[in-house]
Structure 1
Amino acid sequence: MLCCVICVFWSFNECFLSNSCTCLQINRVICKRNPEDLAILYSNRAASYLKDGNCGECVKDCNMSLELSQFNVKSLLRRAAAYEALERYRQAYVDYKTALQIDCNIAAAHDGTNRMTKALTETDGPSWREKLPPIPTVPLSVKEKLAQMSAGNATQPSPTPQQNGTTQTKKPAPSDKEIKKAQALKEEGNALVKKGEHKKAIEKYSQSLKHNPTEVTTYTNRALCYLSVKQYRDAIRDCDEALVIDSNNVKALYRRAQAHKELKVRARVFIIALQLLIPTQLFILQSTQEDDESQYYIIDQS
């Protein structure tokens, strides 16, 4: 008897499970008719969608949350991040600016506003502000209420380092000489990407990171290259590294979700193809889970 074992790695969609649980929780809250709790649940599910790269559903849930709680900061920031990933920069700018009206100390909102300003200047020119949707005015009463809530949580750390469950750790700062060398190599990599030479670009980005392992954009750029050459696990690792440095990095979140999605689709297609070839001799056995991934063995017994 011959036994041919083929290993297939399946990306476990943790967001799907969390979304299912949240749906049940939302139904319970609807029965109780508790708008504030429901707004929080919609916002939490939106975070799940954003992490999974499902930006359209994230926007929908944030809209629902903001209808119930108009100036929910987390919903505004999550919707802004989703809009940014969808390249809807005007809407993203409005949400980032609204969040800053509520709390002018939100680093993610400041960074987002700066990114959107740059993107809109490039796309719409000097008159880009004239094309913006209206920016809501946050009432003083809302600001005072949120300030009181913040005072009660004064011992809590800033939300930015802990967003998405990631604790930031500082890597040793490179010297000026190392930073310049890393920047030059990164720019060479960027030029190769524009030519479509992604494998060569990966080499340049890897060399750059040896000189400056703290540069987030180098990780996200290399992750993009890994996606292009279908090295999805390497893309995920680079996104994880980027998120350790900047846990709110939209590109890292989005590209990691893309990589997980591709792994999942490829595994499904492979299994379906084998079922068509050997439908009576196919067995799928689940083994241990590592790093949120389930390993499957497809065994052809004869």
Structure 2
Amino acid sequence: MPQKQKSKSWTELKQAGNDSFKTGQYGEATNFYSQAIKELEKSSKKNPEDLGILYSNRAASYLKDGNCGECVKDCNMSLELFPFYVKSLLRRAAAYEALERYRQAYVDYKTSLLIDCNIAAAHDGTNRMTKALTEADGPSWREKLPPIPTVPLAVREKLAQTAASSATTQPKPTPQQNGTKQTSKPAPSDKDLKKGQALKEEGNALVKKGEHKKAIEKYSQSLKLNPTEVTTYTNRALCYLSVKQYRDAIRDCDEALVIDGSNVKALYRRAQAHKELKDVKACVEDLNTLLKVEPKNSAAVKLLQEVQKKK
């Protein structure tokens, strides 16, 4: 049997690795991916992206086997060959998290969201890292982060096209290869981002005039084009508070906190909404969380004293 493998192409070896991975044979999958990498590196038709995917697949096997150090090395190699490959970013983030290298994990989770804002695993990871880093480094934890890379628009567009084409050409996408949710929604285009920003600014102008209901409409239109803009959610939450739609305000703050788990405005406005709905416990929890991020926030201190008197 082993001698037959020499005649296998790298694509056959990759498929064998995928099959082993699906059945939980991670050591076997690692061996197949290693052979596939050797075959492809020898090939005259070597494509950096194909090689990057193979390293990423092997990284997933290492991660499943608990070999986080090797997973990080393979993801580094994969990202050199195939920059901004989301699966490699998520796998490296998970390995960094397991190794308690929370700053690096945060950067990888956040970068993944800049590429595709709909990845549930990246949202969850960002929130976990935010909490861990706030506990470890205090309110100034962001100052200690490595730089978060800027994702070029061309990369986002190319990745969106790749995702769209692979969704149509592959009858069976394999999300189980990396344990992350695959999404079909691409990141917003540059045109959508500009239009969304213009609508947000129109909403801001209406707020200044006190026209909160009209502002809500503008913010809603803006969010359809760019659903990852935190300040649009917090601005619309402010409007909902002004028109006494407190549950809608809470929903918007929830959305903002999924994107940025320590957003002060979202925590404060959600606390205000909870107070109006007579949910003192939830209000106090939000204010205490906020004060861990900004201990000297006078508005939060004042509101906390106010609700605690009513207890």
TM-score by length of 1: 0.48
Of Structure 1 and Structure 2, the greater helix share is in: 2
TM-score by length of 2: 0.46
Of Structure 1 and Structure 2, the greater strand share is in: 1
